[in-house]
A and B are shown apart, each in its own frame.
Chain A
Amino acid sequence: MSRPPRPQFLARDSYRIRRLMDAARFLPVFGFVLVLLPLMRHSPDTDAPPTASEGVYLFLVWFGLVFAAFLMSLGLRRALDAPKEQITPPED
Chain B
Amino acid sequence: MSFNMLVLTCLAYVLLLFVVASAAERAASEGRAGWLRSPMIYTLSLSVYCTAWTFYGAVGYAARSGLEFMTIYLGPTLVFVGWWVILRKLVRIGRENRVTSIADMISARYGKSNVLGVIVTLLCISAGAPYIALQLQSIAQSFTVFVTDPAGASLAADPVLIAFWVAIGLAFFTIVFGTRTLDANEQHPGVVTAIAVEAVVKLVALLAVGVFVVWFVAAGPSDILTRIDAQALPQWEIQPGRWTGLILLSAIAIICLPRMFQVTVVENTDDQHLATASWAFPLYLFLISLFVLPIAVVGMELMPAGSNPDMFVLTLPLYLGQDGLALLSFLGGFSAATSMVIVASLALATMVSNHIVVPLWLKVRAARNLDSGDMRLLVLSVRRLSISLVLGLGYLYYVITGGSAALAAIGLIAFVGVAQMLPALLGALFWRGASRTGAALGLVMGMGLWFYTLFLPSFGPGVFLSAQVMEAGLFGLSWLRPYSLFGLTTLDPLLHALFWSLLLNVLVFCLGSFLSFPSPMERVQGALFVNIYDRTGPARSWTRPVAEAEDLLPIAQRILGASEGQNFFRAQAALQGKQGFLPDITPEFLEALELTLSGSVGAATAHAMLAQSVGTAVVSVEDLMAVASETAQIMEYSAQLEAKSEELSRTARKLRDANEMLQKLSVQKDAFLSQISHELRTPMTSIRAFSEIMMDSESMSPEERAHFAQIIHDESIRLTRLLDDLLDLSVLEHGQVQLNIGPVQLRELLDKAIRSSESVQASRKFRILRSRDPEGIEIVTDAGRLTQVFINILSNARKYCIADDPQMQIKVRERKGMVEVDFIDNGAGIPRDKQALIFEKFSRLTDSMQAGGAGLGLAICREIMHNLGGDIAYVPGQGGAAFRVTFPRVLAPREVTRRTAKSQAEAAE
Contact = CB atoms under 8 A, between A and B. Distances in A.
A58 B238 CA distance: 12
B234 A49 contact: yes
Nearest to A69: B279
Interface size class for chain B? Answer: 35 or more
A51 interface: yes
Contact of B70 (A48, A58, A68, A72): A58
Interface in A75-89: 76-77, 80, 84, 88
Contacts of B84: 21, 24-25, 76
A80 B290 contact: no
Q: Which 5 A-B pairs have the closest CB atoms?
A: A28-B82, A69-B279, A24-B84, A70-B279, A48-B232
Interface string B226-250: 1011001110111010011001000
Interface string A23-60: 01101110110011011001000011111111110110
Given A1-B631, A73-B279, A80-B272, A35 B247 contact: yes
Contact of A52 (B77, B80, B226): B226
Nearest to B627: A1
A38 B272 CA distance: 34
Nearest to A49: B237
User: Which of the listed residues B226, B283, B538, B628 has the most CB atoms from chain A within 10 Å of its own CB?
Assistant: B283
A66 interface: yes
B115 to A, nearest CB: 29
A3 interface: yes
B271 interface: yes
B703 to A, nearest CB: 84
B35 interface: no
B238 A39 contact: yes
Contacts of A32: 78, 247
A45 B70 CA distance: 25
Contacts of B244: 36, 39
B74 A69 contact: no
Nearest to B74: A35
**Interface of B, helix, strand, loop or mixed by DSSP:** helix
Contacts of B474: none
Interface of B: 66-67, 70, 74, 77-85, 225-226, 228-229, 232-234, 236-238, 240, 243-244, 247, 271-272, 275-276, 278-279, 282-283, 286, 289-290, 293, 530-531, 533-535, 538, 628, 631-632, 635
Contact of A54 (B233, B238, B538): B238
Given A31-B78, A76-B84, A66 B534 contact: no
A91 interface: yes
Interface residues of A, number: 44
Contacts of B635: 2
Given A2-B635, A29-B82, 16 more contacts: A3-B534, A21-B84, A25-B84, A31-B82, A35-B74, A48-B229, A48-B236, A49-B234, A54-B67, A58-B74, A62-B77, A65-B282, A68-B81, A69-B81, A73-B276, A76-B275
Contacts of B275: 73, 76-77, 80
A59 B82 contact: no
Contacts of A56: 225
A66 B79 CA distance: 12
A15 interface: no
Contacts of A48: 229, 232-234, 236
Given A1-B538, A28-B81, A77 B232 contact: no
A55 B67 contact: yes
B240 A39 contact: yes
B38 to A, nearest CB: 15
A23 B77 CA distance: 16
16 contacts: A31-B77, A32-B247, A48-B234, A49-B66, A55-B67, A55-B228, A55-B293, A56-B225, A62-B282, A63-B286, A65-B77, A65-B78, A69-B282, A73-B275, A77-B275, A80-B275
Contact of A27 (B81, B225, B233, B530): B81
User: Which of the listed residues A49, A55, A84 has the most CB atoms from chain B within 10 Å of its own CB?
Assistant: A55
Contacts of A50: 229, 232
Contact of A84 (B225, B243, B533): B533
A61 B570 CA distance: 56
